[in-house]
Chains A and B, each alone.
Chain A
Amino acid sequence: MFLTFVTFLPLLGAFALAFIPKENEGTIKQAALGIALVDFVLSLGLWMGFDNTTHAMQFEFNASWIAAWGVNYHVGIDGISLLLYVMTTFLTAFSILVSWNVKKHVREYMMAMLALGTGMLGVFIALDLFLFYVFWEFQLVPMYIIIGVWGGPRRIYAAVKFFLYTAVGSLLMLVAIIWIYFIVKDATGVFTTDLIYITQHLDVDLGTQKWLWMAFFLAFAIKVPMFPFHTWLPDAHVEAPTAGSVILAGVLLKMGTYGFLRFNLPLLPHASNEFIPFIAVLSIIGIVYGALVAMVQEDLKKLVAYSSVSHLGFVMLGIFALNEYGLQGALLQNLNHGISTGALFFLVGVIYDRRHTREIKEFGGITNYMPKFAVCFMILTLSSIGLPGMNGFVGEFLILLGMFQVNKMYAAGAALGVILAACYMLWMFQRVMFMQSNNPENEKLTDLDLREKILIAPMIVLVFWIGLYPKPFLKTFDASVSHLVSVVHPDNFRPGKAGGQHASVKIDKALKKIEKQTHKKSH
């Protein structure tokens, strides 16, 4: 119940805000921030109470919801979702403080932010396919509104594009979910959408796995976004308000990678193995392509947006290394990207608020006028480049290490991103922050104020914490990742090639078969 409470607290808060008269903007903002912060602290409680020695779901809650269809309200959290969950509550609070100066419809804005919070949190805890789908679609609406109402000049176009892309992908996911629903029903005679049950009982041949895999792939790949489904992202980012971009980069994209980890890998392990080259090639194209296109951007926000395409390519590559190094690296890189890119979007927002432009050529020599800002920007730029000692490096290295075990050339191709990241980030930094200002407007810029310092400080702490002592994070992933690795290990579907260390998995499978047979008899 605790998990449910933490998840729905923001939505309750959003309803509560509706009762505050909209003239009391100060109260509304404080209340929204208060709710989000309480939620963040509560979610830290989840991390404290989390047992990282087991891969089993924790804080589980299961209640019948739509009994006729076998739909349950089943939620729980494991090592894969926990830190994404915590990051979501953190970034929700962060974004509310980021948008402190929002002028238009403050109450509605805060309500949308809080509702978005619940939608995103729900995605990470849902253990029922139907419930997952509900949350997946639910978070789309507030985000659509945030972009469409509080966005830039082309906000409607961007919002529709964002909505359409995601909706098209998720429709196919719905088809896949329904298909799975009937496959499981045929196999076991049970009508259920329970993810845990389905994961244990879904046993389909490779051909079907591939179709199902592709359907899920499309939904998640658009969300990630993988090349070539990425074009909605730059538009959405450019038009979204700063807080929207932070959430978009920090959480929404992670829902895509999370989807792969929660559905494609454990449900369709054989197909996942078959599709390694497919994913690897798309990811490497994404890494290189995103970096190259980022290099020539004229708009700061677009540059950061395209860099996301590149970074998320790394995450996908790590996931499809299908070994512990790659998966742990991918999970860590998920967090790193949320921190670094989220903070970069915030910093871009800081100068946008002051100058009302994001054109790189408008700037120059900003370091002279905003030294503190420059230091923070430099640190996050380097973190984004993946400088060792900072967060990005640990994730990237683990991903490359994982991929290297699979295929050396893939790892080498992805490592090209390391060079290109330095090119586009440092070139941008030089043109914006260094050299001389060619616009007198820049001389009027003021340095970070207290609110902005409070916002950026935790990000910088996290950058160095994860970079120098990532152990607490890695340990959280550990058990769940090992389990996932054993599930997707290719030995599981190669008959006659019994691997010693994976014998336990074989026994598991055998037990499952027996269980299945008894199920059949009982029906």
Chain B
Amino acid sequence: MLQLAWLIPLIPILGSIVCGVYGLKLGKDKVAKIACGGPILSFLITLLVLLGFLLLPEGVHVWEQILFNWIPVSDFVVQWGYQIDPLSLVMMLVVSGVGSVIHVYAVGYMYEEYSFYRFFCYFNLFLGAMLILVMGNNFLLMFIGWEGVGCCSYFLIGYYFDKKSACDAGTKAFVVNRIGDFAFILGVLFIFNQFGSIDYTTVFSAAPTTLIYGSETATMICILLFIGATGKSAQIPLYTWLPDAMEGPTPVSALIHAATMVTAGVYMVARCNVLFALSPLSMNIVAFVGGGTAVFAATIGMAQNDIKRVLAYSTVSQIGYMFLACGVGAYTAAIFHLITHAFFKACLFLGSGSVIHGMHHEQDMRKYGGLKDHFPITHITFLVSTLAIAGIFPLSGFFSKDEILFHSLMDGNIILWGMGVTGAFLTAFYMFRLVFMTFYGEARYDLTFHPHEPSKIMTTPLVILAFLAFFGGLLGIPLFHGWHVLHEWLEPVFHVNPQAIIDYSTQHMIAEGHHVPLFESLTHEPSHNVGLEVSLMAVSLLIAIGGITAAYFFYIKFPNLPDKVMEGQWGFELVKNKYEVDERIDEYIVQPTVEGSFYLWKGDAKVVDGAVNGAAQTIGWFSKLASPYQSGFVRNYALFMVVGFLAILIMVY
């Protein structure tokens, strides 16, 4: 059954080609069947592969399928191969599972569009690329998926290509991602330089005995890879593209900019956990960037009025949590949050899509209000997901977020924990602000039209995702030994043998006369203080409830309060304008580059060219002497050519 793995990414790609080439002829219904059939089939095959993987003999944790040699150049051989291991299986299930659900929803959402087929052509292609990203067995294959998803994201953000804002957002997303990719490529080059290979198995098994703990090389590799991750996963400083990416249709935001693509960076860092273990400095950077982004994006999210932008900043913030977890070495928690986030954030985006769809493409929350009766199913599912993201017991987000907070205190430090807790408060606040402004309170929209719940094809996916968002926490129940299914499952991937690193690095440091460090980040034993864990849970639960209560007071109880408090506050204006980061980047980087290039071009014509033109004029004078021969007839020129050529031949013989 494992042998079927190669089909998983291929099916959606074939679906994409069929939709793209024959889409208009087939008609919308057939396109819909093909487009949804592919991902569902991939999901079913993934289940078969999972079964096959479970049947592997004890102790075998990796299974590879090599299809062909992709780039063979002397000792640099890149295979086109898929790696099936616990981590990639989790990602495959999330991508194809959540992906299928969103595809079904998109059929309903996009049905009115003329370019329905074009949308699904991109959408299926995206899924194929995303599956290649998580299944590849080496860095370069990951990079194919990595740029492939980025490219599909570019297409889909710019789906409404006659809108300038959509095109700008697409180009921006691509270019900002490229900045990350630039670092990623250098990271891969560095890895090849050090290991002589870019296969995961080779690199990760050789890492403890190739790189020295805390060395510059190890840190460089990790930082470069992490910059790549910040691009794709919209972290500081490369997060600015994600809010703009909301120009795309809402299913795109749900699938690409919430559930799957933007978590690719987390997947990558988790995949390279061995490398990061060798560089405590980069671990700290990852943790602080993640924690910082979690708080930073949450503050912006509090002041946005566009429903999708709030969710976008929320996504940036939640991915920050995942990086925070990676940074403190709690990879299981990161992946756990990645899964639950895929469920509740996809549900939230699709829910917002239902509302937007029902409200005639109005996205401003100030023009919503009191919609809960018009959108009963959307309202319930949205509420479930909001409770999940806010971290209310016993919904999925509670477990995953709590695990991150617990580890950030135990394996990290109190500052990281403080960032996490602040973020949790803000999350609860802005998410309930969103819910209250949209579904509760007084109606602020034009009462002459009647908002309506969308059809079943769009509500069923909501119900499925809300169900998952509710019960997803069962994957990782804390406190009880062995009940954390995900932890047990991912253990083989995230297990690092500290002794090998310590032995090798100590030996080298002594040989080079360096001071041997204490290897704190490796020898640190996580303590299992049940009492502390429970009390931390209580604290975070209280904080979440605090956030919800605050939102309740501001937006239900005293709806005039926000305006009063915020009016004229420069801080609020700053936050509302997203800290003016985009404006400053434009002012200090983009404009000078374009203007500078313009001067370069003009200089090109004057300086370099001037010299040559001078020479040409001199020769032009000489050529006047020869002008009688320039009759202007091509025939004559050709004749001269041939005669001359023959003359040479004759002369020579």
**Residues in A lying within 8 Å of B, measured CB to CB:** 65-66, 105, 108, 111-112, 138, 141, 145, 149, 160-161, 164-165, 228, 230-232, 289, 292-293, 295-297, 324-325, 328-329, 365, 367-368, 375, 382, 387-389, 393-394, 397-398, 400-401, 404-405, 408, 411-412, 415-416, 418-419, 422-423, 426-427, 430, 433-436, 468-471, 474-475, 478, 482
Expressed in whole angstroms, the minimum distance between the Cβ of B82 and any Cβ of chain A is: 15
Contact between B167 and A231 (Cβ–Cβ < 8 Å)?
A: no
Q: List 24 A-B contacts (CB under 8 A).
A: A66-B652, A111-B638, A138-B645, A141-B637, A145-B634, A145-B637, A160-B616, A289-B600, A292-B596, A295-B593, A324-B74, A382-B151, A393-B147, A401-B192, A404-B190, A415-B185, A418-B182, A419-B182, A426-B154, A426-B175, A430-B158, A435-B161, A470-B70, A471-B69
Which listed residue (B593, B601, B635) contacts A297, Cβ 8 A? Answer: B601
**How far apart are the CA atoms of A443 and B370 in the complex, in Å?**
45
Contact between A434 and B140 (Cβ–Cβ < 8 Å)?
A: no
**Residues in B lying within 8 Å of A, measured CB to CB:** 20, 68-74, 76, 140, 143-144, 146-148, 151, 154, 158, 161-164, 167-168, 170-171, 174-175, 178-179, 181-182, 185-186, 189-190, 192-193, 593-594, 596-598, 600-601, 604-605, 608-609, 612-613, 615-616, 619-620, 634-635, 637-638, 641, 645, 652
Contact between B175 and A422 (Cβ–Cβ < 8 Å)?
A: yes
Expressed in whole angstroms, the minimum distance between the Cβ of B505 and any Cβ of chain A is: 23
Report A-chain residues with C-beta under 8 Å of the C-beta of B161: 367, 433-435
**How far apart are the CA atoms of A367 and B609 in the complex, in Å?**
37
Contact between A434 and B162 (Cβ–Cβ < 8 Å)?
A: yes
Say yes or no: A474-B616 contact (C-beta < 8 A), given A367-B161, A416-B182. no
Expressed in whole angstroms, the minimum distance between the Cβ of A398 and any Cβ of chain B is: 6
Report B-chain residues with C-beta under 8 Å of the C-beta of A415: 182, 185-186
**How far apart are the CA atoms of A266 and B151 in the complex, in Å?**
41
Contact between B616 and A164 (Cβ–Cβ < 8 Å)?
A: yes
Say yes or no: A394-B71 contact (C-beta < 8 A), given A165-B612, A389-B144, A434-B158. yes
**How far apart are the CA atoms of A112 and B164 in the complex, in Å?**
45
Closest to A427 in B: B171
Expressed in whole angstroms, the minimum distance between the Cβ of B504 and any Cβ of chain A is: 24
Expressed in whole angstroms, the minimum distance between the Cβ of A406 and any Cβ of chain B is: 11
**How far apart are the CA atoms of A401 and B185 in the complex, in Å?**
9
Which listed residue (B600, B605, B609, B652) contacts A292, Cβ 8 A? Answer: B600
Expressed in whole angstroms, the minimum distance between the Cβ of B636 and any Cβ of chain A is: 10
**How far apart are the CA atoms of A476 and B608 in the complex, in Å?**
39
Contact between A435 and B162 (Cβ–Cβ < 8 Å)?
A: yes
Contact between B167 and A398 (Cβ–Cβ < 8 Å)?
A: no
Contact between A468 and B171 (Cβ–Cβ < 8 Å)?
A: no
Report A-chain residues with C-beta under 8 Å of the C-beta of B601: 293, 296-297
Report A-chain residues with C-beta under 8 Å of the C-beta of B171: 426-427, 430
Contact between A164 and B612 (Cβ–Cβ < 8 Å)?
A: yes
Closest to B193 in A: A404
Report A-chain residues with C-beta under 8 Å of the C-beta of B619: 164
Contact between A411 and B189 (Cβ–Cβ < 8 Å)?
A: yes
Report B-chain residues with C-beta under 8 Å of the C-beta of A408: 189-190, 193
Contact between B193 and A412 (Cβ–Cβ < 8 Å)?
A: no
Expressed in whole angstroms, the minimum distance between the Cβ of A388 and any Cβ of chain B is: 4
Say yes or no: A112-B608 contact (C-beta < 8 A), given A389-B144, A434-B162. no
Report A-chain residues with C-beta under 8 Å of the C-beta of B76: 325, 398, 401
Contact between A296 and B597 (Cβ–Cβ < 8 Å)?
A: yes
Which listed residue (A231, A289, A400, A427) contacts B185, Cβ 8 A? Answer: A400
Given A66-B652, A328-B73, A435-B167, output 8 extra A-B contacts at Cβ < 8 Å. A393-B147, A398-B71, A400-B185, A404-B189, A404-B192, A405-B193, A471-B69, A471-B72
**How far apart are the CA atoms of A239 and B131 in the complex, in Å?**
46
Contact between B175 and A412 (Cβ–Cβ < 8 Å)?
A: no
Which listed residue (B190, B634, B652) contacts A149, Cβ 8 A? Answer: B634
Report B-chain residues with C-beta under 8 Å of the C-beta of A145: 634, 637-638
**How far apart are the CA atoms of A105 and B637 in the complex, in Å?**
13
Report A-chain residues with C-beta under 8 Å of the C-beta of B70: 468-471
Report A-chain residues with C-beta under 8 Å of the C-beta of B168: 430
**How far apart are the CA atoms of A387 and B178 in the complex, in Å?**
10
**How far apart are the CA atoms of A29 and B634 in the complex, in Å?**
18
**How far apart are the CA atoms of A510 and B613 in the complex, in Å?**
50
Q: Which 8 A-B pairs have the closest CB atoms?
A: A292-B597, A434-B161, A388-B144, A404-B189, A108-B634, A324-B74, A422-B178, A293-B601
**How far apart are the CA atoms of A298 and B143 in the complex, in Å?**
33
**How far apart are the CA atoms of A228 and B73 in the complex, in Å?**
32
**How far apart are the CA atoms of A436 and B161 in the complex, in Å?**
8
Report B-chain residues with C-beta under 8 Å of the C-beta of A411: 186, 189
Report B-chain residues with C-beta under 8 Å of the C-beta of A422: 174-175, 178
Dominant secondary structure at the B interface: helix
Which listed residue (A138, A296, A436) contacts B594, Cβ 8 A? Answer: A296
**How far apart are the CA atoms of A110 and B71 in the complex, in Å?**
39
**How far apart are the CA atoms of A196 and B147 in the complex, in Å?**
44
Contact between B73 and A112 (Cβ–Cβ < 8 Å)?
A: no
Expressed in whole angstroms, the minimum distance between the Cβ of A367 and any Cβ of chain B is: 6
Contact between B637 and A436 (Cβ–Cβ < 8 Å)?
A: no
Contact between A365 and B178 (Cβ–Cβ < 8 Å)?
A: no
**How far apart are the CA atoms of A108 and B637 in the complex, in Å?**
10
Report A-chain residues with C-beta under 8 Å of the C-beta of B151: 382, 387
Contact between B140 and A423 (Cβ–Cβ < 8 Å)?
A: no
Contact between A161 and B612 (Cβ–Cβ < 8 Å)?
A: yes
Report A-chain residues with C-beta under 8 Å of the C-beta of B71: 394, 397-398, 470-471, 474
Report A-chain residues with C-beta under 8 Å of the C-beta of B593: 292, 295
**How far apart are the CA atoms of A393 and B72 in the complex, in Å?**
14
Most buried by A among B161, B163, B594, B605: B161
**How far apart are the CA atoms of A350 and B20 in the complex, in Å?**
23
**How far apart are the CA atoms of A104 and B136 in the complex, in Å?**
55
Report A-chain residues with C-beta under 8 Å of the C-beta of B613: 161
Report A-chain residues with C-beta under 8 Å of the C-beta of B170: 426, 430
Say yes or no: A108-B594 contact (C-beta < 8 A), given A405-B193, A474-B71. no
Expressed in whole angstroms, the minimum distance between the Cβ of A470 and any Cβ of chain B is: 6
Expressed in whole angstroms, the minimum distance between the Cβ of B538 and any Cβ of chain A is: 48
Contact between A419 and B193 (Cβ–Cβ < 8 Å)?
A: no
Contact between A397 and B74 (Cβ–Cβ < 8 Å)?
A: no
Which listed residue (B68, B73, B154) contacts A469, Cβ 8 A? Answer: B68
Expressed in whole angstroms, the minimum distance between the Cβ of A210 and any Cβ of chain B is: 24
Report B-chain residues with C-beta under 8 Å of the C-beta of A328: 73
Report A-chain residues with C-beta under 8 Å of the C-beta of B605: 231
Report B-chain residues with C-beta under 8 Å of the C-beta of A387: 147-148, 151
**How far apart are the CA atoms of A434 and B174 in the complex, in Å?**
15
Say yes or no: A397-B185 contact (C-beta < 8 A), given A293-B604, A434-B167. yes
Expressed in whole angstroms, the minimum distance between the Cβ of A45 and any Cβ of chain B is: 25
Which listed residue (A108, A149, A296, A325) contacts B598, Cβ 8 A? Answer: A296
**How far apart are the CA atoms of A412 and B620 in the complex, in Å?**
44
**How far apart are the CA atoms of A329 and B78 in the complex, in Å?**
14
Expressed in whole angstroms, the minimum distance between the Cβ of B139 and any Cβ of chain A is: 11
**How far apart are the CA atoms of A265 and B178 in the complex, in Å?**
34
Contact between B638 and A400 (Cβ–Cβ < 8 Å)?
A: no
**How far apart are the CA atoms of A141 and B639 in the complex, in Å?**
12
Contact between B641 and A141 (Cβ–Cβ < 8 Å)?
A: yes
**How far apart are the CA atoms of A503 and B171 in the complex, in Å?**
52
Closest to A389 in B: B144
Which listed residue (A325, A375, A400, A426) contacts B74, Cβ 8 A? Answer: A325
**How far apart are the CA atoms of A423 and B612 in the complex, in Å?**
31
**How far apart are the CA atoms of A295 and B619 in the complex, in Å?**
34
**How far apart are the CA atoms of A111 and B604 in the complex, in Å?**
35
Expressed in whole angstroms, the minimum distance between the Cβ of B247 and any Cβ of chain A is: 12
Most buried by A among B71, B609, B615, B616: B71
**How far apart are the CA atoms of A292 and B518 in the complex, in Å?**
48
Report B-chain residues with C-beta under 8 Å of the C-beta of A470: 70-71
Which listed residue (A232, A388, A430, A468) contacts B143, Cβ 8 A? Answer: A388
**How far apart are the CA atoms of A293 and B616 in the complex, in Å?**
24
Report A-chain residues with C-beta under 8 Å of the C-beta of B190: 404, 408
Expressed in whole angstroms, the minimum distance between the Cβ of A442 and any Cβ of chain B is: 13
**How far apart are the CA atoms of A277 and B527 in the complex, in Å?**
54
